[in-house]
Amino acid sequence: MLIKNEKVRGAIRSTVRLRGLHIRFMLMLFLLVNVGRANDLCYVFLFHGDVMTRCKGQLRRITFTGDVLTFSVDDRGQFLAITRKRNRGNGVTGEAAAQVVNLETGAVRAVKNPGHVIPSCGTLVLVGFQNGELASYDIEPTPLAALGAPLANVRCSSDRSAVVGQLSDRSQIGPRQIFRLPDLKRSVGASGRFDFNISPDGLHMAYHSSELCLWALEENAARCVDVRTTIIGTPSVKNGGGVLVGFNDYEGRECFYQTPTRFDTQRLPGGRSIADACESIGYWRPGLTRLQTLEPLGDQPQWITEAIALKIRMWGERLPKGVVVK
Protein backbone atom coordinates (compact mmCIF):
# COMPACT_ATOMS: atom_id res chain seq x y z
CA MET A 1 0.00 0.00 0.00
CA LEU A 2 1.39 3.40 -1.02
CA ILE A 3 1.33 5.98 1.75
CA LYS A 4 1.21 9.50 0.29
CA ASN A 5 0.86 11.52 3.50
CA GLU A 6 4.37 12.60 4.56
CA LYS A 7 3.30 13.01 8.21
CA VAL A 8 2.01 9.44 8.31
CA ARG A 9 5.21 8.13 6.71
CA GLY A 10 7.28 10.05 9.29
CA ALA A 11 5.23 8.68 12.15
CA ILE A 12 5.73 5.12 10.86
CA ARG A 13 9.50 5.66 10.52
CA SER A 14 9.66 7.05 14.07
CA THR A 15 7.66 4.09 15.40
CA VAL A 16 9.95 1.59 13.65
CA ARG A 17 13.04 3.35 15.04
CA LEU A 18 11.56 3.34 18.53
CA ARG A 19 10.65 -0.35 18.25
CA GLY A 20 14.18 -1.09 17.03
CA LEU A 21 15.70 0.79 19.96
CA HIS A 22 13.33 -1.01 22.34
CA ILE A 23 14.32 -4.41 20.94
CA ARG A 24 18.04 -3.56 21.16
CA PHE A 25 17.55 -2.28 24.71
CA MET A 26 15.75 -5.47 25.75
CA LEU A 27 18.51 -7.62 24.19
CA MET A 28 21.17 -5.62 26.04
CA LEU A 29 19.20 -5.95 29.28
CA PHE A 30 18.86 -9.72 28.73
CA LEU A 31 22.60 -10.07 28.18
CA LEU A 32 23.43 -7.94 31.21
CA VAL A 33 21.08 -9.94 33.43
CA ASN A 34 22.52 -13.27 32.27
CA VAL A 35 26.12 -12.09 32.56
CA GLY A 36 25.26 -10.85 36.04
CA ARG A 37 23.83 -14.24 36.93
CA ALA A 38 26.95 -16.00 35.64
CA ASN A 39 29.16 -13.62 37.64
CA ASP A 40 27.14 -14.37 40.77
CA LEU A 41 27.89 -18.10 40.60
CA CYS A 42 30.52 -19.72 42.82
CA TYR A 43 31.75 -23.28 42.29
CA VAL A 44 34.76 -25.59 42.40
CA PHE A 45 35.74 -28.02 39.64
CA LEU A 46 38.63 -29.96 38.13
CA PHE A 47 40.50 -28.71 35.08
CA HIS A 48 43.60 -30.33 33.60
CA GLY A 49 43.89 -32.53 36.68
CA ASP A 50 43.91 -29.58 39.09
CA VAL A 51 41.42 -28.01 41.49
CA MET A 52 39.96 -24.69 40.32
CA THR A 53 37.43 -22.27 41.77
CA ARG A 54 35.35 -19.69 39.95
CA CYS A 55 33.46 -17.13 42.01
CA LYS A 56 31.84 -14.00 40.59
CA GLY A 57 33.60 -14.68 37.31
CA GLN A 58 37.08 -14.86 38.88
CA LEU A 59 39.00 -18.06 38.13
CA ARG A 60 41.62 -19.32 40.62
CA ARG A 61 43.89 -22.33 40.35
CA ILE A 62 44.31 -24.12 43.69
CA THR A 63 46.64 -27.06 42.93
CA PHE A 64 49.54 -27.20 40.48
CA THR A 65 50.36 -30.90 40.06
CA GLY A 66 47.89 -32.10 37.42
CA ASP A 67 47.34 -35.41 39.23
CA VAL A 68 43.97 -34.87 40.96
CA LEU A 69 41.41 -37.56 40.15
CA THR A 70 38.55 -36.62 42.50
CA PHE A 71 37.76 -33.68 44.74
CA SER A 72 34.81 -32.82 46.98
CA VAL A 73 34.08 -30.47 49.87
CA ASP A 74 31.15 -30.55 52.27
CA ASP A 75 28.58 -27.73 52.16
CA ARG A 76 29.76 -26.35 55.51
CA GLY A 77 33.37 -26.05 54.39
CA GLN A 78 34.74 -28.25 57.17
CA PHE A 79 36.12 -31.23 55.24
CA LEU A 80 37.47 -31.88 51.78
CA ALA A 81 38.38 -35.19 50.18
CA ILE A 82 40.97 -35.45 47.43
CA THR A 83 42.28 -38.40 45.44
CA ARG A 84 45.55 -38.11 43.55
CA LYS A 85 47.43 -40.41 41.23
CA ARG A 86 50.52 -41.72 43.05
CA ASN A 87 53.84 -40.98 41.37
CA ARG A 88 56.36 -43.85 41.50
CA GLY A 89 59.11 -41.82 39.90
CA ASN A 90 60.38 -41.52 36.33
CA GLY A 91 56.93 -40.48 35.21
CA VAL A 92 55.34 -43.79 36.24
CA THR A 93 52.09 -43.53 38.19
CA GLY A 94 50.44 -46.13 40.38
CA GLU A 95 47.21 -46.53 42.31
CA ALA A 96 45.26 -43.57 43.67
CA ALA A 97 45.97 -42.08 47.11
CA ALA A 98 43.00 -40.55 48.97
CA GLN A 99 42.99 -38.07 51.85
CA VAL A 100 40.43 -36.28 53.97
CA VAL A 101 41.48 -32.80 55.12
CA ASN A 102 39.94 -30.93 58.04
CA LEU A 103 39.83 -27.34 56.76
CA GLU A 104 39.37 -26.02 60.31
CA THR A 105 42.41 -27.68 61.89
CA GLY A 106 44.51 -28.68 58.88
CA ALA A 107 44.57 -32.32 60.03
CA VAL A 108 45.00 -34.85 57.22
CA ARG A 109 43.81 -38.44 57.30
CA ALA A 110 44.56 -41.11 54.69
CA VAL A 111 41.57 -43.12 53.47
CA LYS A 112 41.83 -46.61 52.01
CA ASN A 113 39.43 -47.59 49.24
CA PRO A 114 37.29 -44.46 49.60
CA GLY A 115 34.71 -45.55 47.04
CA HIS A 116 32.57 -42.68 45.79
CA VAL A 117 32.70 -39.56 48.00
CA ILE A 118 29.69 -37.25 47.73
CA PRO A 119 29.11 -33.94 49.54
CA SER A 120 25.80 -34.42 51.35
CA CYS A 121 24.20 -34.61 54.80
CA GLY A 122 26.34 -31.74 56.09
CA THR A 123 29.45 -33.86 55.63
CA LEU A 124 31.12 -36.09 53.05
CA VAL A 125 29.26 -39.31 52.36
CA LEU A 126 31.15 -42.40 51.28
CA VAL A 127 29.10 -44.68 49.03
CA GLY A 128 30.59 -48.10 48.38
CA PHE A 129 30.29 -51.80 49.01
CA GLN A 130 30.77 -53.17 52.52
CA ASN A 131 30.81 -56.97 52.81
CA GLY A 132 29.30 -57.18 49.35
CA GLU A 133 26.42 -54.80 50.10
CA LEU A 134 26.02 -51.19 49.01
CA ALA A 135 26.16 -48.79 51.97
CA SER A 136 26.53 -45.09 52.81
CA TYR A 137 28.73 -43.83 55.65
CA ASP A 138 29.98 -40.60 57.17
CA ILE A 139 33.58 -40.19 56.07
CA GLU A 140 34.11 -37.74 58.96
CA PRO A 141 34.01 -37.54 61.91
CA THR A 142 32.43 -40.97 62.51
CA PRO A 143 33.47 -43.15 59.55
CA LEU A 144 31.42 -46.16 60.65
CA ALA A 145 28.08 -44.41 61.21
CA ALA A 146 25.56 -45.80 58.73
CA LEU A 147 23.13 -43.25 57.26
CA GLY A 148 19.50 -43.45 56.25
CA ALA A 149 18.61 -47.08 56.96
CA PRO A 150 16.89 -48.95 55.38
CA LEU A 151 18.11 -47.03 52.33
CA ALA A 152 21.57 -48.11 51.24
CA ASN A 153 22.57 -45.29 48.87
CA VAL A 154 21.76 -42.08 50.75
CA ARG A 155 21.73 -38.29 50.30
CA CYS A 156 20.28 -35.87 52.83
CA SER A 157 19.93 -32.22 53.79
CA SER A 158 22.60 -30.62 55.94
CA ASP A 159 20.51 -31.11 59.10
CA ARG A 160 19.51 -34.64 57.92
CA SER A 161 15.81 -33.89 58.26
CA ALA A 162 15.23 -34.74 54.57
CA VAL A 163 16.63 -38.10 53.42
CA VAL A 164 16.46 -39.62 49.94
CA GLY A 165 18.14 -42.68 48.52
CA GLN A 166 17.99 -46.07 46.88
CA LEU A 167 17.54 -49.55 48.26
CA SER A 168 20.35 -52.06 47.86
CA ASP A 169 19.62 -54.29 44.87
CA ARG A 170 22.71 -55.70 43.17
CA SER A 171 20.60 -57.60 40.65
CA GLN A 172 18.96 -54.46 39.26
CA ILE A 173 20.21 -53.15 35.93
CA GLY A 174 19.64 -49.58 34.77
CA PRO A 175 18.12 -46.65 36.69
CA ARG A 176 17.18 -47.36 40.29
CA GLN A 177 14.16 -45.91 42.05
CA ILE A 178 14.80 -43.05 44.49
CA PHE A 179 12.68 -42.81 47.64
CA ARG A 180 12.23 -40.11 50.26
CA LEU A 181 12.03 -41.33 53.83
CA PRO A 182 9.79 -42.39 55.42
CA ASP A 183 7.78 -43.28 52.27
CA LEU A 184 9.23 -46.40 50.64
CA LYS A 185 6.15 -47.07 48.50
CA ARG A 186 6.31 -44.12 46.12
CA SER A 187 9.38 -43.21 44.08
CA VAL A 188 10.39 -39.57 43.59
CA GLY A 189 12.68 -40.33 40.62
CA ALA A 190 15.11 -42.84 39.14
CA SER A 191 18.81 -42.72 38.30
CA GLY A 192 22.09 -44.59 38.46
CA ARG A 193 23.84 -45.15 41.79
CA PHE A 194 25.83 -41.93 41.76
CA ASP A 195 23.61 -39.77 39.57
CA PHE A 196 21.49 -37.90 42.14
CA ASN A 197 21.93 -35.43 44.98
CA ILE A 198 19.85 -33.18 47.24
CA SER A 199 20.22 -29.49 48.08
CA PRO A 200 21.63 -28.52 51.51
CA ASP A 201 18.19 -27.33 52.66
CA GLY A 202 16.56 -30.55 51.43
CA LEU A 203 13.97 -28.80 49.25
CA HIS A 204 15.29 -29.89 45.85
CA MET A 205 16.78 -33.08 44.42
CA ALA A 206 18.57 -33.31 41.07
CA TYR A 207 18.92 -36.59 39.21
CA HIS A 208 19.59 -37.80 35.69
CA SER A 209 19.15 -40.84 33.52
CA SER A 210 17.83 -40.05 30.03
CA GLU A 211 16.92 -36.51 31.18
CA LEU A 212 18.16 -34.05 33.78
CA CYS A 213 15.46 -33.50 36.38
CA LEU A 214 14.86 -31.37 39.45
CA TRP A 215 12.36 -32.61 42.01
CA ALA A 216 10.85 -29.97 44.33
CA LEU A 217 9.59 -30.93 47.77
CA GLU A 218 7.02 -28.12 47.89
CA GLU A 219 5.49 -29.19 44.55
CA ASN A 220 6.10 -32.91 45.09
CA ALA A 221 6.88 -33.04 41.37
CA ALA A 222 9.85 -32.97 39.00
CA ARG A 223 10.72 -30.71 36.09
CA CYS A 224 13.01 -32.19 33.46
CA VAL A 225 14.98 -31.15 30.39
CA ASP A 226 16.29 -33.26 27.53
CA VAL A 227 19.98 -32.32 27.53
CA ARG A 228 20.71 -34.36 24.35
CA THR A 229 24.08 -35.46 25.70
CA THR A 230 25.67 -37.72 28.32
CA ILE A 231 25.78 -36.32 31.85
CA ILE A 232 28.71 -37.51 33.92
CA GLY A 233 28.76 -38.16 37.65
CA THR A 234 26.89 -36.70 40.58
CA PRO A 235 24.98 -33.45 40.02
CA SER A 236 25.38 -30.57 42.45
CA VAL A 237 22.16 -28.79 43.44
CA LYS A 238 22.04 -25.61 45.49
CA ASN A 239 19.30 -24.09 47.59
CA GLY A 240 16.80 -22.62 45.18
CA GLY A 241 17.29 -25.35 42.61
CA GLY A 242 20.23 -24.45 40.33
CA VAL A 243 22.05 -27.56 39.09
CA LEU A 244 25.68 -28.07 38.03
CA VAL A 245 26.68 -31.13 36.00
CA GLY A 246 29.58 -32.46 34.01
CA PHE A 247 28.69 -33.56 30.49
CA ASN A 248 30.20 -34.80 27.24
CA ASP A 249 30.25 -31.98 24.71
CA TYR A 250 29.53 -33.93 21.52
CA GLU A 251 28.80 -30.72 19.61
CA GLY A 252 32.08 -29.01 20.53
CA ARG A 253 35.76 -29.80 20.03
CA GLU A 254 37.36 -33.18 20.67
CA CYS A 255 39.85 -33.81 23.47
CA PHE A 256 42.78 -36.12 24.12
CA TYR A 257 42.81 -37.81 27.53
CA GLN A 258 45.86 -38.51 29.67
CA THR A 259 43.75 -39.41 32.74
CA PRO A 260 39.97 -39.20 33.24
CA THR A 261 40.40 -35.66 34.63
CA ARG A 262 43.41 -34.46 32.62
CA PHE A 263 42.50 -33.75 29.02
CA ASP A 264 42.96 -31.07 26.39
CA THR A 265 42.23 -30.31 22.76
CA GLN A 266 45.92 -30.99 22.06
CA ARG A 267 47.45 -34.43 22.57
CA LEU A 268 49.14 -34.76 25.99
CA PRO A 269 52.42 -36.66 26.62
CA GLY A 270 51.69 -40.27 27.42
CA GLY A 271 48.01 -39.79 26.74
CA ARG A 272 45.66 -41.48 24.32
CA SER A 273 46.23 -40.89 20.62
CA ILE A 274 42.53 -41.09 19.77
CA ALA A 275 40.41 -38.07 20.57
CA ASP A 276 37.01 -38.24 22.27
CA ALA A 277 34.32 -35.76 23.28
CA CYS A 278 35.53 -33.09 25.70
CA GLU A 279 34.04 -33.00 29.18
CA SER A 280 32.40 -29.67 29.99
CA ILE A 281 30.52 -28.10 32.88
CA GLY A 282 26.89 -27.12 32.48
CA TYR A 283 24.26 -25.23 34.43
CA TRP A 284 20.50 -25.72 34.41
CA ARG A 285 17.48 -24.61 36.38
CA PRO A 286 13.74 -24.85 35.65
CA GLY A 287 12.82 -22.22 33.11
CA LEU A 288 15.88 -22.85 30.93
CA THR A 289 15.17 -24.88 27.81
CA ARG A 290 18.67 -26.29 27.50
CA LEU A 291 21.86 -26.91 29.42
CA GLN A 292 24.10 -23.82 29.54
CA THR A 293 27.86 -24.31 29.26
CA LEU A 294 29.81 -22.60 32.04
CA GLU A 295 33.22 -24.17 31.39
CA PRO A 296 34.09 -25.65 27.96
CA LEU A 297 36.67 -27.92 29.62
CA GLY A 298 36.14 -29.23 33.15
CA ASP A 299 34.91 -32.03 35.36
CA GLN A 300 33.21 -32.72 38.74
CA PRO A 301 31.61 -29.30 39.41
CA GLN A 302 30.25 -28.48 42.85
CA TRP A 303 28.50 -25.43 44.29
CA ILE A 304 30.38 -23.64 47.06
CA THR A 305 30.11 -20.31 48.85
CA GLU A 306 32.67 -17.52 48.73
CA ALA A 307 33.63 -18.38 52.32
CA ILE A 308 34.30 -22.00 51.35
CA ALA A 309 36.24 -20.84 48.27
CA LEU A 310 38.49 -18.81 50.59
CA LYS A 311 39.07 -21.87 52.80
CA ILE A 312 39.98 -23.96 49.76
CA ARG A 313 42.37 -21.25 48.56
CA MET A 314 44.04 -21.06 51.97
CA TRP A 315 44.40 -24.85 51.99
CA GLY A 316 45.97 -24.70 48.52
CA GLU A 317 48.46 -22.05 49.62
CA ARG A 318 49.77 -24.41 52.32
CA LEU A 319 50.41 -27.22 49.83
CA PRO A 320 53.93 -27.88 48.51
CA LYS A 321 53.89 -26.58 44.97
CA GLY A 322 55.64 -29.58 43.45
CA VAL A 323 56.22 -29.79 39.73
CA VAL A 324 53.59 -28.72 37.27
CA VAL A 325 52.71 -31.64 35.03
CA LYS A 326 53.28 -30.77 31.39
* Position 1 pLDDT exceeds 50: no
Question: 23: pLDDT confidence band, cut at 50, 70 and 90?
Answer: very low
pLDDT of residue 98: 87
pLDDT tens by residue, 31-78: 334 434 556 899 999 999 999 999 999 999 999 989 999 999 999 999
In the three-class reduction of DSSP (H, G, I as helix; E, B as strand; rest coil), residue 200 is classed as: coil
CA distance 137 to 88: 31
* Window from 71-80, 97-106, 236-245 with minimum mean pLDDT: 97-106
pLDDT of residue 128: 79
**At 281, which amino acid appears?**
I
CA distance 147 to 302: 22
Which contacts of 171-179 are long-range, i.e. CB under 8 A and separated by 24 or more positions?
175/209, 178/205, 178/207, 179/151
Question: 324: pLDDT confidence band, cut at 50, 70 and 90?
Answer: very low
pLDDT of residue 6: 57
* Position 226 pLDDT exceeds 70: yes
Question: 172: pLDDT confidence band, cut at 50, 70 and 90?
Answer: low
What average pLDDT score do residues 285-313 get?
Answer: 95
Whole-number percent of the chain with pLDDT over 90: 47
Strand partners, 89: 92
- Other beta carbons less than 10 A from residue 182's beta carbon: 7
pLDDT of residue 291: 93
pTM as predicted: 0.81
pLDDT tens by residue, 183-209: 888 889 888 888 999 999 999 999 998
Q: What is the dihedral of CA 15, 18, 22, 23, to 10 degrees?
A: 70
CA atoms within 13 A on the CB side of 230: 9
pLDDT of residue 194: 85
Backbone angles phi, psi at 37, to 5 degrees: -60, -45
pLDDT tens by residue, 266-281: 888 877 888 899 999 9
- Other beta carbons less than 10 A from residue 156's beta carbon: 25
* Position 246 pLDDT exceeds 50: yes
Question: 210: pLDDT confidence band, cut at 50, 70 and 90?
Answer: confident
Rounded to an integer, what is the distance from CA 260 to the centroid of its chain? 16
Do 127 and 153 meet the contact criterion of CB atoms below 8 Å apart? yes
CA distance 268 to 326: 8
Question: 144: pLDDT confidence band, cut at 50, 70 and 90?
Answer: low
Average pLDDT, the chain: 82
pLDDT of residue 91: 45
Question: 297: pLDDT confidence band, cut at 50, 70 and 90?
Answer: very high
pLDDT of residue 78: 92
